[in-house]
Amino acid sequence: MHIHILGICGTFMGGVAQLAVAAGHRVTGCDANVYPPMSDQLQAAGIGLSEGYDVGQLALKPDMFVVGNAISRGNPLLEAILDQGLPYVSGPQWLADHVLQGRWVLGVAGTHGKTTTASMLAWILEDAGMAPGFLIGGVPLNFSVSARLGDTPFFVIEADEYDTAFCDKRSKFVHYRPRTVILNNLEFDHADIFADLAAIETQFHHLVRTLPGSGQIVVNAREESLQRVLQRGCWTPVVAFDDAQGYRVEGDDADGSLILWGPEGEVARTHWALSGAHNRANACAALLAARHVGVTLNQGLDALSRFQNVKRRLEVRGVEAGVTVYDDFAHHPTAIATTLAGLRRKVGDARILAVLEPRSNTMKLGTMKDRLAESLELADQVFCYGANLGWDAGAALTPMGERVCVEDDLTLLVSKIVAEARVGDQILVMSNGGFGGIHGRLLEALAQK
């Protein structure tokens, strides 16, 4: 089959493209911005790329157009496909029909931690010799790729609650029909498509409705929102994690210790390279999901001692002039606060200069602006890129007083960060995008300081 993918350079659609090639399909695609690193990955896989959405791409005559959820009505290529009655399908639906069908799918859903938890789960299965396929919204360092077809029944997928496509406003994860699912946490997000938390809970219950009676739900015991989801109706066995009286993972960030507890007491212990209570909760969820496919808890915990995390999760991008620059994907207030807490535990009293780009659709709308100052409280200085926002970032961050600098010009922002930085400082850059290559610009400027 020849498929042509609209919006191919997104993390999810790029992963679908690579899986399709591995499955023997011919793949071409287009995007408004064909740029590295995804463009390099796709071209290395032999995928032909077109810049933009020119209707001339119809001449490729694919068997199917696969439409990403970034594509909206009014897109010239999409309009031409509709006008001519050509075959099209959403990315999640194509994936479900041509990759996931007949496999044991392990889905990882939740507002936060999906990428890290899915990476942990895939690694635990890999370490146990189960060679899973996977599609993850980041690059697990244990694998160095975000997607792999695999040739065993097992497939780990990051199960996103964002909508499917212009023609299908259900969450992506409804299409995946997992047998094992992790419900990691659930709070309000994606204000551009969801009116409130209740609307997201409804989508999570749609997912629960697709699970078989022989499956398993691994749920966060601390999340009232997830309890409400399950109370709507549940036909699948449930096991809780992060449970004070049941399965939980504890540890000490100072020495990297990791201790798994169960209802009967301590199960096993090891050491690992990660830190933070959120990562220990992620680990507990991954261990229980892996147990459902036959990996013992002891095996799984041992595998986590060799887990290397994911790119853009407190990733050190470099050190110049005694200043360390980190890259992190955090873009929601809860994730921002959690990331800062993790770095604070790691660096102690060292100064943290937090650099934030409020880039997600929810942040651009200003839905979370009232929580922003509180989420950044652990930073010593805050630098915010205020361009392209529908609200005043400076006003939102007023409670932080003189610790805040907001600039709409990225070059000026970089210069002010570098002017403030001194030996021993930790610069934490947080964005769900490329942020104009700010990491490299900071390191270059620091080297010349």
Residue 410: which of 442, 382, 447, 365 has the closest Cα?
442
In the prediction, which pLDDT does 435 show? 87
Domain 2-91 matching CATH 3.40.50.720: the answer reads yes
Is the predicted pLDDT of residue 190 greater than 80, yes or no? no
* Tens of pLDDT, residues 243-285: 988 999 999 887 889 999 999 999 999 999 888 888 999 999 9
What is the rounded average pLDDT of the residues 90-101?
96
Query: Do residues 192 and 362 lie in contact, with contact meaning Cβ atoms separated by under 8 Å?
Result: yes
Is the predicted pLDDT of residue 191 greater than 80, yes or no? no
* Tens of pLDDT, residues 162-178: 899 999 999 999 999 99
The reply to whether domains 2-91 and 102-304 share a CATH topology is no
Q: Give me the residue spans of the domains in the chain.
A: 2-91, 102-304, 315-448
Query: What is the architecture of the domain spanning 102-304?
Result: 3-Layer(aba) Sandwich (3.40)
For residue 232, give every residue at least 6 positions away whose Cβ sits within 8 Å of its Cβ, in sequence order, or none. Answer: 201, 205, 208
In the prediction, which pLDDT does 298 show? 96
Residue 195: which of 365, 337, 329, 373 has the closest Cα?
365
* Tens of pLDDT, residues 112-144: 889 999 999 999 999 999 999 999 988 898 998
DSSP summary character for residue 172: G
In the prediction, which pLDDT does 331 show? 76
In the prediction, which pLDDT does 342 show? 83
* Tens of pLDDT, residues 29-83: 999 977 666 778 788 889 999 999 999 999 999 999 999 999 999 999 999 999 9
What is the rounded average pLDDT of the residues 213-234?
96
What is the rounded average pLDDT of the residues 313-324?
90
Query: Do residues 384 and 430 lie in contact, with contact meaning Cβ atoms separated by under 8 Å?
Result: no
In the prediction, which pLDDT does 193 show? 74
| CATH number, domain 315-448 | 3.90.190.20
In the prediction, which pLDDT does 36 show? 66
Residue 19: which of 36, 53, 42 has the closest Cα?
42
Phi, psi of 10, rounded to the nearest 5 degrees: -70, 155
* Tens of pLDDT, residues 3-23: 999 999 988 999 999 999 999
* Tens of pLDDT, residues 374-418: 999 999 999 999 888 888 888 889 999 999 999 999 999 999 999
pLDDT: which is higher, 92 or 359: 92
What is the crossing angle of helices 297-304 and 277-292, to 10°? 140
Q: Is 44 exposed, middle or buried (0-12, 13-18, 19+ CB in 10 A)?
A: exposed
Query: Do residues 354 and 338 lie in contact, with contact meaning Cβ atoms separated by under 8 Å?
Result: no
Query: Do residues 373 and 399 lie in contact, with contact meaning Cβ atoms separated by under 8 Å?
Result: yes
